[in-house]
Each structure stands twice: as C-alpha cells, then as structure tokens.
Structure 1
Amino acid sequence: MYPWVSCLLCVTAAQMGKRHNMKASTGLVEIIGLTEKFTFNPKEGIDNPVMVITEDFVSTPSPRLCVLKREEGESYAFHLRVERGCQGHVIRNVVSGGIAACSGLKDGDRLLEVNNCYVDDVPHPEVAKMIKQSGHQLCLLVLDGEEYEQAMSRGQDLRGLARGKGCKPPRLCHITRDPVSGLGINFTPIEGGKGRFSVNLVKGGAAEKAGVCKGDHLVWMNGAAVSDLTHSALSRMMKKCGDHITILVIDSESEKNYMQQRMPILPAMAVPHNLPYRAKKLHLVSGPEGYGFLLRLEKAPSGRTFHVLREMDRGSPAERAGMKDGELLLEVNGESVESLKHEEIVDRVRLSGRQISFTTITQQGLEFYTRLGLSPLLFCEDGSVEREKESSISASATEQSPQKEMDGSCKPRRCSLQKGPLGFGFNLGCVPQCSGTFISQVAFGGPGQSAGLLVGDVVMEVNGQNVEEKYLEDVILLVKEGGHYLSLVVMDKTGYNKLKQHDTPTRDISDSEQEEDGYEISSL
C-alpha cells in the first residue's frame, strides 16, 4: 500500500484492502504520479462516492469586472494592443498606482467587454474607439491572459461569460418643458436605498413623450450621478434645470440585475431618446472639382479652436452628402481630429483618394455633450447617402397624380437581415408625440444598409408582429428574441405620414412638424 493513495482519494488503506484488489500499475486502478486521471473496472462498482472522479477536470474561466473613473484631463493609464502571435485585445503598460491598476486591470489581461458590449471578435480600432467615447467612466470585463489562452485552446465559448444578460439597456432621455404641464416628471425616494429615486410621470406629459416610462428609476441627471444625492438636493437640481433636462433612467428589474452583478449603469450603455443634437457621419465621393467645401481653423469666443466646414459649393459632393456650413469636424475616416493640426487633416483628406468619410456636429451639439460630460461621438447618426436619390424621387413624384403619388411612396418594404460580428448594423429611436419607432442610425457597410434600411424609416413590423403602437423597449426585445435573423417591414417616413393622413384625415399636421424639430434625421 502506498501511503499517499489514501491522502489523494480520502479512502483508508483498510477500506482499499477490503473492497479492491489494487495493483500499482496494471490492476484495476491505474495511478500515474499524482494526476487526477483514473481507470476503473465497472464490474467491481464503487462504494465510496468520493472516488467518482471525472476523466478531465475543465475549470471555468473567471473574468473580472473593472470599473474605471477619471477626471477631466486624466488618462485611464493603460494601453490596449493587438500583438503578433497573441490572441485577443491585450491590456499592456498598466501604470502602477494609476486608474487602471487601482481598478484591478493587470498587464496581459484580455478584454472581453466594454460597457456591457462583447468585443472579443470586434476589430481593434472599433474597440479603442468605444473606450475613447465612454467619457469619464468605463466598465471593462477582462480575463487573465493565461486563462484566456487556455480557454481558446479548449475552444470554450467566451461569449457565454458575458454579463448583463436579461437586462434592458438604460435610456438617455432629453426632456423639453411643456408650456402648460412643465417637464411632466418628479421623483420619489426609494425606501431603504440612499440616492435611489423612482420616477413619477404626468400621463402624456413631456417626460413620457421623451421616452421615460412609469416605474423607471433615476440613475443620472444632467451629467451627475444621483447615488449620493438627497431628495432635497435632487429637487434643487430640478429647479435649476430650466426648460430642458437630460436624464438616464432604467426599469427597476434591470437595475436589480445590474446591482446583483455589481455593474455600473452608464450613459455609454444607453439607448438615446429625443436627443436634440447628434453627430453625423458623411460619406463623400470626390467630383471633378474635389469635394466642394472649405476647411477652416477658427477660434470660438471661449478661446478654443475648431476645424470648421464652410462654403459648400452648390451641387457639390459635400452638399449632396448633407454637410452644413458652420459644422465642426470631429473625425476623418474614423480618426479623431482633436489633436491634429490643420495641415495634418488636409494631408489625410488628400491621401484618402476619391472617397472619404467625415463625422461632424453643430457647435450647439458639441456644447450640449460637453455640458453632460459625454463624447459627441457616442450617439452618431449615419448621414451618408447622397441627396440625388431623394431629389429624383421628389421630381418623379410631382409628375404623378396625388393618388398615384401616395400609392408609390406608401409602399412598405420588407428587409431581411442576418446578424454580423457587430450586430444588425442599425439603431432604433422612438418617435416623439406618438407611439412608434424608427431607424435612427444605419452602420456603413453593415447588414442593415445591405438590407436597404434608411435612416428615418418607420418600423411597422418585427418578425411578423405589428409594432406601430409599441414602445421602443418592447420593439428592442422583439428584435433580440429573433436571434441571428431579423425580418423588418419598414416605410419611408414621408410616405408613412401620408398613409396615416389618408386613413385619418383629421390628424393634426403640427405633430409631424414638432417631430422634425425633435430629431436631426438625414435621409440616406
């Protein structure tokens, strides 16, 4: 009898002698060193349950959640790299004592999620961009480098380790005061929870129209978390907000799930509702005279300098793409221009050949996001499609009779999509003043664009179910339930409005005018 056998199996020598005829290497139990691999003779049976040992024990990877908070001008103090011969997005150069190190990040960690979004299969530039756009707070799910390599070698599904399952995303809602009913919202402290507030709504009021739902919990107001606020402090903030307020809210069940998983609820995770300003991505193809606009470096009254787009030539690629005089340039081909000199931007434009993409925003839009402490690129719309298509449709429509015009423009379109590495490639937004959802963003080159979705399209059906009277959250759930395949029935916004007017002639036309004021939507 070997003295270490009883230690390994928790079985006494006497028990072994009574129940088993064991040989060191060729008998009923084969023991090699101190491994956990055993070969049993099934005819003998096993009396002691602790001797039931799996052939190969496979450990489950243990990802870590790291929450990073920084102040204006501070760095998160780590690098994200893609290395030759090394799989995944690698965390490197974690500064000792820095924000990343204090949050638990370690050199060699692999990044799995950014703000509750799985990124292991997302291209590195997109992941880096997501981190930069997150603002002053960042939520990362990481896995130890050695564990990651082992999991990959075993073919384990790392997506299965994702957090936030079953949670609806928070909503970032911008509320504009109604002259009669005000903001249409107030807050009640949740008993037993400091800094936690439940939402009370005026039915049909401004807050409800802006996407806030009954029973929501307040997370954030005008750029400030409410977790440390008293009810009186929150009331004072409300009084100072003026005619507009931007809040982050979430339903109570999802908040509970986030709290159980110790995940922060951040604006970068949110679905935008009724935001007054959105950055636009414009795609231009050069003509004989170039792109047809001027780029100027101008100083604002605040003293800051901006790269400003000016003097779009009539009929130029810039004008057709939707570029407006006075807009600020944020990106060239997805690269931020914030730290670039004027000459460097011009060089990038020239080197891009005959095609280029610009991301722009109005001066007021930039100020809006700056006040909230958010990146203006966080909720970017794609305004890439040229205006010639829209113009040709308008010209041909004028030649038709009113009835034929309505028949042609009120034709729903069925769009079938298959989920790609970055999802379905579109975002949904809610329509103010009435129920319903529309396509608020279409990713360039994604499944949504390939299927024919256009920004501004009204969503009528999701996987065969009518959603014209459903709220945004319900529509999003239907999309998710479809898995990797999605069937949408959509209609051009103008045609949809004409169809509804034809069906219900008494509809107030001013509703559609207010709808336009609430959103900046570019036709693709």
Structure 2
Amino acid sequence: MRSSSGLVTINGLTEKFTFNPKEGIDNPVMVITEESESVSKPNPRLCVLKREEGETYAFNLRVEGGREGHIIRNVASGGVAERSGLRDGDRLLEVNNCYVNDVPHPEVAANIRMSGNQLCLLVLDGDEYEQALSQGKDLKSLIRTNKGESLNPPRLCHIRKDPVSGLGINFIPVEAGEKGCFSVSLVAGGTAAKAGVCKGDRLVWMNGAAVSDLTHSALSRMLKKCGDHITILVIDSESEKSYIKQRMPILPSMAVPHNLPHRARKLHLVCGPGGYGFLLRLERTPSGRKYHVLREMDSGSSAERAGMKDGEILLEVNGESVESLDHDEIVNRVKLSGQQVSLATITPQGLDFYSKLGLSPLLFCEDESAEREKQNMILSSLTEELLKNEMDATCKPRLCSLQKGPLGFGFNLGCVPQRPGTFISQMAFGGSGQSAGLRVGDVVMEVNGQNVEEKCVEDVIMLVKEGGHFLSLLVMDTTGDSKVKQTDKPTRDISDSEEEDKYEISFL
C-alpha cells in the first residue's frame, strides 16, 4: 500500500500527517475543505416587514449598472426594513412568495407597493448572490432546496348569501377554547363551495380583519354582522402548517382570487387622429375624497375600442400610481407616452369594495388586452395543431375500394406530359369514386395492389381495365406526394379528336 506525507497548518501550528487513501475521510485537510464548502453555500433569508399606518418600509429597491438583480439599498437605521433583517446590498428573490429575480423592475416595485402594511421578502446576501451567479447556480432550485416543502397559495373568496342556504359555511374551532384557529365546514353545493372554499380549509382573514386573536364567539358575532356577503382568506391545512414552519405569514397579497365581484382593469390605448378619445376629470365623491375620473368616450375612439367605461376611476398611467399626482401631472404623463398609453382603471363600486377590505385594487388587476392576446395565441396554436393533424391525416396513403356503377368508376385520371405518375383529375358527383373517398388531386400509388408510381398513364389504364367491375386504389393527397408538389406544368384536358396526345382518361 502506497502512502504519502504532508503538512497542514492549523492556528499557526504545523502538524505532520500520513495520508492513507482508505482513511481519507479522517484526513484533517479533507475535513477543512468540507467545512469551507458548507460555509459558502448560499442561504436565502426570509424578511417579514410590518408597518403601521403612515409608516414607510424604510428601504429602496434599485437596479444598478453592471450589477445583476433587484438590489436593496438605503436601509434606514432602526426602520421597519432593518428590524426585519433586511441589509444593504441584499438581492431580492421573492415578493410574497412569488419569484421576481427575472421580473421587470417596475413590476416588482408595484408588487411591493400593493402589498399593504405587511410584506414578505426572500433575499440573498449580495456577495452570495454574485457567487451563485458566477457558479452558474439556478436560483429557483436554490430557493426550492432552502424552503423544502412546496406551498399552495391562499385563496381570497367572495361569498354571496343564498336566500335558501345562506352563506353555506360554518367555522369550527380546531381545538376547543383555542383562539384564532378555525376550520371550515361547508354546505354541499352551497355558495361558499362555489366560491372556491374547500372543506377543512383554515380561516385566516375575514372582511379585512385577521382572525388570529378572535374567539369563536367573537367570530360568530362578526359573521352575523356581515350582511349578504363576506370575503374570506382561506388555505388548506397542510399548506398552513408549512407556512407556520417556515415562519411565513399568510397574506391576501399572496392569494389566488375566487369569485371577486370587482376587478381593476388594464387598458391599452393607441393614439388616433383625434387623440385617445376621452376626458379626464377631477371629481369629488360623496365621501369627500377626490378621484381622477374617465368621462365622455368618443364613438369609435381608441378609448371606446379598449373597453373604457364612463365614470371609471383612474388608478395608474403606464404602471405608475396616480394617487399622489395632481391633474396636470397625470395629463403630462399621458402626453409623454407618445402614441400608446396603458391605463389601470376600476369602477367606483370596485374601489369602495377594496377600500373596505384594506386592499389595493391593483392586487388582482385584469389585463384584458393581454388576456385577449393570450386567447388569440392559444386559438392560433390550436388551429395550427388542427391543420397539422389534418395535414398529417391527408398525407397518409388511403385505400379506396370501388365497384363500377351506372357512372362507371366515377372519376377521371390525369397526368403530366412526359412524366410518370397519375392523379385523379375529375370526380363525378354521386359516383362510385366519391363514395369510396377519392378526391380531386389524389395521386394514384397502387392499382389492385400493384405499384404504379413510376408507370405512365397508359399502363395505369390497362391495370384498371383488367380489374373488371371491381377496383382497389391506394392514393395519397397531393400535398403528401413530392412528385405532384414539384409539378411545374399544368394538366391538359384534350378532346377526343386529339387521341394520340390525350392525357386525361374518363372512367365515367
């Protein structure tokens, strides 16, 4: 057995050792290398930010030249972000459990703004982020490994009371006397079940209020006061355990919406000769608040074509919130857009709905143009697939069996002069050929089991005649036959007087 010796320095002391390949795992050098690798492993951190009304999150999110990712900057000392563990230079990987590393910066910033007073961020130290990229690591896989279990998102469900079955839902304490932990019981086929609620779901939130500190009696009183509808946040019990295990809050901003009565909409307008074709007015509501309202859509204008409705409230211009902008600033934003502008709008009733829930109406915004484009792409894809399948079907050889009738076999044969190959040039309506499935343009490959692809039309005619009153043809659609595809001369139909040059033979 061969061995070798070496030196390793630990804390300034030099220790001699003998390396044995069988005992390599006990080698101090091997142990030190293993530890150094484990230290360098990227470790994403979950930061949960909670702010009070009027308080900011106290950090900036930036994109910097020469650096990858969304970068956390200007973390205020003692602020919400610092208290949550956020550090200057961190790279943002997820916002409210949604991966954002490859999402455009304005969209990421908008997601943060819409989150309300609680925000869940998954970040990676800046140096670890750069190292992970340099090593070609997949950040999504890194997150999955770090999290372990997959999480189903919560569901935000709006339930309307049915005159007969009511809301179709009851809440049961998971453990008697325990606060804030309620399981869902459903009326089969009731309105709650139709609104996306599932039996055994855990209740997280009702009408904008968390239930974590409520007793069952308090929750029951709250339910009685809800009127003819409620909006609840629920999650399946297994996912709830995973969220708790990972110390991740369950937030409405993470939710998948179900049956919501109102949704904000994104409209995409293209400027026409007369402009966009609508007016923007600053109006005061009965509550005393002022909003920028869309009015007087011109007939046939870009606004009308985009689906704009009179009285809708403007929320965004090109992804920028208008809440803090005055009227002239908004008009300038639209003018600076050039020939196209994107607007987010909602009805007054919709804005009131989300305001009562304490949610941003932009959380579940519908991009109607994008949805139409997506549907068109799906339709186009399906059409292409159908055409491909149809093409594949027509390119397959077909065996057609014919019996001579009053119209003979009911087809004519054609050919290209000076070339082998024969095809169906004409069909008699109601004839035997049509009944057997022959089509004009079909290329004849076999006659009564004999290959005729390289035969001239006269030889094909002889084989047909030899078959008597029965005929078997193996044919292929023109698109499936390379010989017919390459044809560069038209077939000639010639009268009986030109018998020696006749290239179309009738079998009527």
- What TM-score does the superposition give when structure 2 sets the normalisation length? 0.68
Aligned to 1:96, what secondary structure does the other structure show?
Answer: coil
Gaps of 5+ in 2: 383-508
| Cα distance, 1:185 vs structure 2 | 0.6
Instruction: Tell me which residue corresponds to 2:340.
Output: 355
Q: Does 1:289 align with 2:274?
A: yes
For 2:77, which of 90, 96, 102 is the aligned residue? 96
Q: Does 1:334 align with 2:340?
A: no
- Give CA-to-partner distance per residue, 1:433-461, whole Å, 9 cap, x none: xxxxxxxx7397xxx4673369xx9xxxx
For 1:183, which of 161, 164, 167 is the aligned residue? 167
Aligned to 2:249, what secondary structure does the other structure show?
Answer: coil
**AA aligned opposite 2:97:** N
Instruction: Tell me which residue corresponds to 2:130.
Output: 149
For 2:371, which of 418, 432, 442 is the aligned residue? 442
Deviation larger for 297-306 or 264-273: 297-306
Separation of aligned partners in 2, 1:214 and 1:44: 60
Instruction: Tell me which residue corresponds to 2:23.
Output: 46
Separation of aligned partners in 1, 2:193 and 2:268: 35
Separation of aligned partners in 2, 1:72 and 1:451: 44
Separation of aligned partners in 2, 1:107 and 1:304: 38
**AA aligned opposite 2:95:** V
- Give CA-to-partner distance per residue, 1:374-415, whole Å, 9 cap, x none: 11000011122xxxxxxxxxxxxxxxxxxxxxxxxxxxxxxx
For 1:241, which of 213, 226, 232 is the aligned residue? 226
**AA aligned opposite 2:328:** E
Instruction: Tell me which residue corresponds to 1:301.
Output: 286
| Cα distance, 1:34 vs structure 2 | 7.0
Instruction: State how many pairs are aligned.
Output: 371
Separation of aligned partners in 2, 1:139 and 1:47: 45
Instruction: Tell me which residue corresponds to 1:135.
Output: 116
For 1:160, which of 122, 138, 141 is the aligned residue? 141
- Give CA-to-partner distance per residue, 1:480-518, whole Å, 9 cap, x none: xxxxxxxxxxxxxxxxxxxxxxxxxxxxxxxxxxxxxxx
Instruction: Tell me which residue corresponds to 1:66.
Output: 47
Q: Retained in 2: the 8 A contact 1:136–1:373? A: no
Distance 1:367 1:49, change over 3 A: same
**AA aligned opposite 1:29:** G
Distance 1:214 1:45, change over 3 A: closer
Q: Retained in 2: the 8 A contact 1:113–1:140? A: yes
Distance 1:164 1:308, change over 3 A: farther
Separation of aligned partners in 1, 2:159 and 2:21: 74
Aligned to 1:248, what secondary structure does the other structure show?
Answer: strand
- Give CA-to-partner distance per residue, 1:447-481, whole Å, 9 cap, x none: x4673369xx9xxxxxxxxxxxxxxxxxxxxxxxx
Distance 1:112 1:40, change over 3 A: farther
| Cα distance, 1:351 vs structure 2 | 1.7
| Cα distance, 1:108 vs structure 2 | 1.7
Aligned to 1:442, what secondary structure does the other structure show?
Answer: helix
**AA aligned opposite 2:162:** D
Distance 1:158 1:450, change over 3 A: farther
Gaps of 5+ in 1: 1-18, 22-26, 385-440, 458-524
**AA aligned opposite 2:75:** V
Distance 1:176 1:146, change over 3 A: same
Instruction: Tell me which residue corresponds to 1:119.
Output: 100
Distance 1:104 1:48, change over 3 A: closer
| Cα distance, 1:352 vs structure 2 | 1.3
Q: Quick one: percent identity of the two aligned structures?
A: 69
Q: Which has the higher strand share?
A: 2
Aligned to 2:307, what secondary structure does the other structure show?
Answer: coil
Q: Does 1:172 align with 2:98?
A: no
**AA aligned opposite 2:322:** V
Distance 1:380 1:44, change over 3 A: closer
Q: Does 1:274 align with 2:259?
A: yes
Instruction: Tell me which residue corresponds to 1:400.
Output: none
Q: Retained in 2: the 8 A contact 1:115–1:268? A: yes
Q: Does 1:376 align with 2:361?
A: yes
Distance 1:44 1:364, change over 3 A: closer
Q: Retained in 1: the 8 A contact 2:269–2:340? A: yes
Separation of aligned partners in 1, 2:90 and 2:267: 36
Separation of aligned partners in 2, 1:149 and 1:137: 28
- What TM-score does the superposition give when structure 1 sets the normalisation length? 0.66
Aligned-pair RMSD on alpha carbons? 2.8
For 1:199, which of 184, 190, 194 is the aligned residue? 184
Separation of aligned partners in 2, 1:292 and 1:48: 76
Distance 1:293 1:165, change over 3 A: farther
Distance 1:126 1:164, change over 3 A: farther
Distance 1:208 1:30, change over 3 A: same
| Cα distance, 1:366 vs structure 2 | 0.6
For 1:110, which of 91, 105, 108 is the aligned residue? 91
**AA aligned opposite 1:265:** I
**AA aligned opposite 1:111:** L
Instruction: Tell me which residue corresponds to 2:429.
Output: none
Separation of aligned partners in 1, 2:310 and 2:96: 35
Separation of aligned partners in 1, 2:130 and 2:220: 51
Separation of aligned partners in 1, 2:344 and 2:158: 22
Q: Does 1:250 align with 2:235?
A: yes
Q: Retained in 2: the 8 A contact 1:164–1:258? A: no
| Cα distance, 1:100 vs structure 2 | 1.2
**AA aligned opposite 2:83:** C
Q: Retained in 2: the 8 A contact 1:174–1:275? A: yes
**AA aligned opposite 1:74:** E
